[in-house]
Structure 1
Amino acid sequence: MTVLVTGAAGFIGAYVCQALAARGERVAGLDNYNDYYDPRLKHDRVAALCPDVDIRRLDLADREGLAALFAELRPDRVVHLAAQAGVRYSLQNPHAYVASNLEGFVNVLELCRHGGVRHLVYASSSSVYGDSATPPFSEDQRIDRPRSLYAATKAANELMAYTYAQLYGLPATGLRFFTVYGPWGRPDMAPLLFSRAVLAGRPIEVFNHGRMERDFTHVSDIVAGVLGALDHPPREPVPHRVFNLGNHTPVALEDFIGVIERAAGRPAHKVYRPLQPGDMVRTMADTTRARQAFGFEPKVGIDTGLPPVVHWCRDYFGAAA
């Protein structure tokens, strides 16, 4: 039986494809290879991590193309990671989020419903907690005060999946990812932005004057959580659950930069800025529910996981990073 991974050329998606294939699953993927960041990185990522996985170029908003793919592959499980990402980008490009994260998600839900998919695992985000929750964030806290449209679309995804689970019995699991990092990561996120800038001697912008903490989670821990959730479909009267996937150990932004400086062998030139619209000051995951449900236990801290990111940036982007 086929596992379909959407967003398969993305950072988490390519690693998930790699892990599924490594354990003998029949894996297929789709990705639209959009230009939110350089598509060359996506192609290179696939070539490095999952070159033997069949990944089709397809947009979630293409209802007919998506339906034809489901009819051809007949997936029994779907890992839905495709989305328009980015908090700040959503402030200037709201329609991209509506098309991908709302319209595209409905298309996936409908095809899973009519295609007899046994389990849909989909990406949510720690951003859904917004201003409603206090750290450590637990799945029982409110998510009705998002700080960005991106966060609002992810919260909407959870409501939409719950509705399909309630109405049609579609087993669905939402995963709230907390600041994922690793080699082959997204170049718009702090781990790569800061690593490349420090390596090249460029200044970095440090928002909220450095008074921020993030629950940085290594991609290997996230992949373990995705596969764990996939293997444990919900069986409640309404078969829908949501889990935090984080390291549950927030790291001060200045400490995070310090690890990059040591790995790069040079100091960062820091330019302090006010808090940006849409940003959260502190994130921290309560992962009790995921640990109890499928044994989720993150293993990689930034002292171990972040230096390889700096080294990968040097190797992939070159001396100028």
Structure 2
Amino acid sequence: MAVLVTGAAGFIGSTLIHALLDRGERVVGVDNLNDYYDVNLKKARLKRLEDRESDFSFHKLDISDREALPTLCEANPDITGAVHLAAQAGVRYSLTNPFAYIEANSMGHLVVMEACRRLPNFQHLVYASSSSVYGGNTKMPFSVEDPVDNPVSLYAATKRSCELMSDCYAHLYRMPMTGLRFFTVYGPWGRPDMAAYLFTKAILEGKPIDVFNNGEMRRDFTYIDDIVSGVISALDRVPVAPVPGRPHKVYNLGNNNTETLMDYIGVIEEACGREAIKNFREMQPGDVKETYADIDISQKELGFEPKVKIREGLPRFVQWYREYHKV
């Protein structure tokens, strides 16, 4: 039996693969190694998996390729589960390169579903959604039962489209699927376009950081190990159809603890041993003021219990950053 992981060279994907291998799974990983951010970081994540090649195989391909991914799946008929994490990330980048989001997120998701449903022994597809689907909702905390019909970015719209397509395929083909709405994931090996990385880099280099909405923002920051634990719990739990004939469920994976942006910066400053030079700026288009996850259902049905707060997780990130960049 094997697990397909898309986005294998990504932050969450590479960390998840280590956890799957640790528990004895065979993993088939795919990633197109695009240059949205430093490809060397992606290659470094994969290099950490080199000594595990007996149970892990990597394939460089684009998930939106309607021939390559199905062909790979046909060559690995023992794939019984999949974790689909590959996507074009970033809210702000969607303002300048919108076509990348439709191709990778919407088309890519469709290709993954089509490839998986044709596998002879396939059991369950887990895929990454996002807290961005909540858009401008003001009711806090965000619940999976809340309406999500008003996205404020194209990125969010494509993630919501993945949820809707999954619900449709669950209905049409009785294909079990689980969507996970991630809330601001951070930690070692994280993405360079995320706040922890951007702030740490700038602070250590003595350069200013941009603080949007004049610092009046809050986020439900979630540590990578907690996210991976939640993903594995979801993979192990094939959903029972909440609606007859539709085995599809959606969960929040967040820390259930919203933090102010200024407190977040303060923890990074302390870990770096110096104060940030702050440029206070207006809210950016497509951004939201606050995110906060209601994880009651995730706790009850997945046993999801986030453990790491920013005062523990951010110093771990800063330590990794220093070691990786040798600063």
Task: Write the mapping of 1:53-68 to structure 2, written as runs, cut at 5 A.
Answer: 53-68=56-71
Structure 2-normalised TM-score? 0.96
Residues 1-37 of structure 1, C-alpha deviations (whole Å, 9 max, x = no match):
1100000110000011000000001111000000000
Partner of 1:250: 258
5+ unaligned residues in a row in structure 2: which ranges?
A: none
Q: Displacement, 1:51?
A: 4.8
Compared CA separation, residues 206 and 8, structure 1 to 2 (3 A): same
Tell me if 1:141 matches 2:146.
yes
Residues 254-302 of structure 1, C-alpha deviations (whole Å, 9 max, x = no match):
0000001110000000000000011110000000111111210000000
For the aligned residues, what is the CA RMSD? 1.0
Of 146-155 and 306-315, deviating more is: 306-315
Tell me if 1:87 matches 2:91.
yes
5+ unaligned residues in a row in structure 1: which ranges?
A: none
Is the contact between residue 248 and residue 285 of structure 1 (CA under 8 Å) also seen in structure 2? Answer: yes
Partner of 2:296: 288
Aligned length: 319
Partner of 1:195: 200
Amino acid at match of 2:257: T
Partner of 1:4: 4
Q: Displacement, 1:96?
A: 0.4
Give the distance between the partners of 2:302 and 2:101, measured in 1 at CA.
31
Structure 1 vs Structure 2: percent identity of aligned residues?
56
Is the contact between residue 2 and residue 27 of structure 1 (CA under 8 Å) also seen in structure 2? Answer: yes
Q: Displacement, 1:176?
A: 0.1
Tell me if 1:98 matches 2:102.
yes
Instruction: Give the match's secondary structure for 2:48.
Output: helix
Give the distance between the partners of 1:134 and 1:266, measured in 2 at CA.
36
Task: Write the mapping of 1:1-321 to structure 2, written as runs, cut at 5 A.
Answer: 1-48=1-48, 51-52=51-52, 53-74=56-77, 75-116=79-120, 117-236=122-241, 237=244, 238-319=246-327
Q: Displacement, 1:134?
A: 1.9
Of 229-238 and 205-214, deviating more is: 229-238
Give the distance between the partners of 1:172 and 1:298, measured in 2 at CA.
22
Is the contact between residue 133 and residue 142 of structure 1 (CA under 8 Å) also seen in structure 2? Answer: no
Give the distance between the partners of 1:50 and 1:133, measured in 2 at CA.
45
Is the contact between residue 247 and residue 285 of structure 1 (CA under 8 Å) also seen in structure 2? Answer: yes
Structure 1-normalised TM-score? 0.97
Compared CA separation, residues 147 and 50, structure 1 to 2 (3 A): farther
Compared CA separation, residues 51 and 282, structure 1 to 2 (3 A): farther
Q: Displacement, 1:48?
A: 2.6
Residues 113-165 of structure 1, C-alpha deviations (whole Å, 9 max, x = no match):
22242100000000000013522000000111111000000000000000000
Instruction: Give the match's secondary structure for 1:159.
Output: helix
Residues 193-228 of structure 1, C-alpha deviations (whole Å, 9 max, x = no match):
001111111100000000000000000000000000
Q: Displacement, 1:49?
A: 5.4
Amino acid at match of 1:314: R
Compared CA separation, residues 147 and 91, structure 1 to 2 (3 A): same
